[in-house]
Chains A and B, each alone.
Chain A
Amino acid sequence: DADVTQTPRNRITKTGKRIMLECSQTKGHDRMYWYRQDPGLGLQLIYYSFDVKDINKGEISDGYSVSRQAQAKFSLSLESAIPNQTALYFCATSPGRGARGDEQYFGPGTRLTVT
Chain B
Amino acid sequence: AQKVTQAQTEISVVEKEDVTLDCVYETRDTTYYLFWYKQPPSGELVFLIRRNSFDEQNEISGRYSWNFQKSTSSFNFTITASQVVDSAVYFCALSENNYGQNFVFGPGTRLSVLP
Q: In the assembled complex, which residues on chain B have CB atoms less than 8 Å from the CB atom of A35?
A: 105
Q: In the assembled complex, which residues on chain A have CB atoms less than 8 Å from the CB atom of B4?
A: 42
Asked if A102 and B97 sit within 8 Å, CB to CB, the answer is yes
Asked if A100 and B101 sit within 8 Å, CB to CB, the answer is no
Contacts known (A40-B107, A43-B105, A103-B50); A31 close to B91, Cβ less than 8 A = no
Asked if A101 and B100 sit within 8 Å, CB to CB, the answer is yes
Interface size class of B (residues with CB under 8 A): 20 to 34
Asked if A88 and B43 sit within 8 Å, CB to CB, the answer is yes
Interface size on A, residues (CB 8 A): 29
Contacts known (A42-B106, A102-B95, A103-B50); A33 close to B43, Cβ less than 8 A = no
- At the interface, is chain B mostly helix, strand, loop or mixed? loop
CB closest chain-B residue, reference A42:
B105
Tell yes or no: A56 within 8 A of B by CB. yes
Tell yes or no: B33 within 8 A of A by CB. yes
Give, as a whole number of angstroms, the nearest-CB distance from A103 to chain B: 6
Give, as a whole number of angstroms, the nearest-CB distance from B109 to chain A: 10
Within 8 A of B (CB), among A36-90: 40-45, 48, 50, 56, 88, 90
Q: In the assembled complex, which residues on chain A have CB atoms less than 8 Å from the CB atom of B99?
A: 31, 50, 96, 101-102
Give, as a whole number of angstroms, the nearest-CB distance from A1 to chain B: 14
CA distance A109 to B47 in the complex (A): 15
Tell yes or no: A104 within 8 A of B by CB. yes
23 A–B pairs (Cβ distance < 8 Å), ordered by A: A31-B99, A33-B100, A33-B103, A35-B105, A41-B107, A42-B91, A42-B106, A42-B107, A44-B105, A48-B101, A50-B101, A99-B98, A100-B98, A102-B99, A102-B103, A103-B47, A103-B50, A104-B35, A104-B47, A104-B103, A106-B37, A106-B44, A106-B45
